[in-house]
A and B are shown apart, each in its own frame.
Chain A
């Protein structure tokens, strides 16, 4: 049943966010440290096991797949509920600080992609 998949997904997110929160408490900050990332790892390893043992039935999978398919519309709704006015009216310091951080970070992507990248796995380019 589809609800099994959705419930599995929900449990992964709950486990991840609780672990992330506790991790934050351990290091002494009032924030969630990587809860969603932890939830993703839990989902991947759980689904891998269920898949191997043949217990991940197609209807169960559909209960997860639906949410990944609805991802882009959710992101559109997220964009529509951002505080865009505050960003635009934040003044030159805010605009320049935000923009510079983006430009510098974009520029670093190709640089970091090269670090630790074994040429043998890449093949000729």
Chain B
């Protein structure tokens, strides 16, 4: 019997990306069915699907103690490829198809302003929380603040200014918490903050910055808003990596 199981697992692993297409397809179908029948469409199907994805990711992390959620289980490794940066970025760019250039340029300035504000705010908030918990040196405060920007800005900044391993781990975890919260909370908060037009989506992307969070959060709110939010969010990590170890670290050092 185990021979049969091994043979099946072997085939599923060999066609791992195909297994992922099938499995994600089933998950999305199930989620939309739940959305229709149990919530009468009030909770968006994609929001449920993303939530199931996150639960699967936790289970995967629990089982394998790896970093890539369910993708660390061999037969589900294709999910890591399907949901990795390569396909994600291709799909995000594709969502811009049919968008008019004028719509981007019209809100250009507020997009840029929101980007800078989003990066600086995250550093301030993250730095304050770090301070409150006793991480009161400039390096730790900047690194944890960088993590509150995104989980990429965190380790890049921490590495540049020489943060300890413990602070780096906190920083990355803070970024992950942010990304997951943005994924799950955006559809619930959207009506409260007027997130229903391209303009506010652009600003939202600039303020939040986490590409994965914004990408999933807007998909679950209104897929039409995705290109606008994703556009500004993709500049955020770069800006954070640029400002974090330089300007913000210097300011932090001057204050502390």
Docked CA distance A34–B21 (Å)? 28
Distance in angstroms from A85 CB to nearest chain B CB is: 3
Distance in angstroms from B152 CB to nearest chain A CB is: 7
B interface with A by C-beta (< 8 Å) = 20-21, 24-25, 27-28, 46, 49-54, 56-58, 60-62, 65, 67-71, 76, 79-80, 82-84, 87-101, 104, 109-110, 113-114, 117-118, 121-122, 125-126, 128-130, 133, 135, 144-145, 147-149, 152, 156, 169-183, 185, 189, 193-195, 199-200, 203-204, 206-208, 211-212, 215-216, 219, 223, 226-227, 230-232, 234-235, 237-239, 241-242
Docked CA distance A45–B46 (Å)? 30
B176 adjacent to A98 (CB under 8 Å): yes
Given the interface pairs A84-B58, A86-B176, A102-B181, the reply to whether A77 lies near B90 with Cβ below 8 Å is no
> Could you say which of A29, A94, A109, A117 contacts B174, with CB atoms under 8 Å apart?
A94
A44 adjacent to B104 (CB under 8 Å): yes
Docked CA distance A93–B118 (Å)? 20
A76 adjacent to B24 (CB under 8 Å): yes
Return chain B residues, CB-CB under 8 Å to A91: 170, 173
Q: Which of A59-79 contact B (CB under 8 A)?
A: 61, 64-68, 70-79
Given the interface pairs A72-B49, A82-B57, the reply to whether A97 lies near B144 with Cβ below 8 Å is yes
B93 adjacent to A94 (CB under 8 Å): no
20 contacts between A and B (CB under 8 A): A9-B90, A16-B93, A37-B231, A47-B98, A64-B94, A77-B87, A78-B84, A79-B51, A80-B54, A80-B69, A80-B79, A81-B79, A81-B80, A87-B180, A90-B169, A95-B177, A101-B148, A102-B182, A107-B193, A115-B113
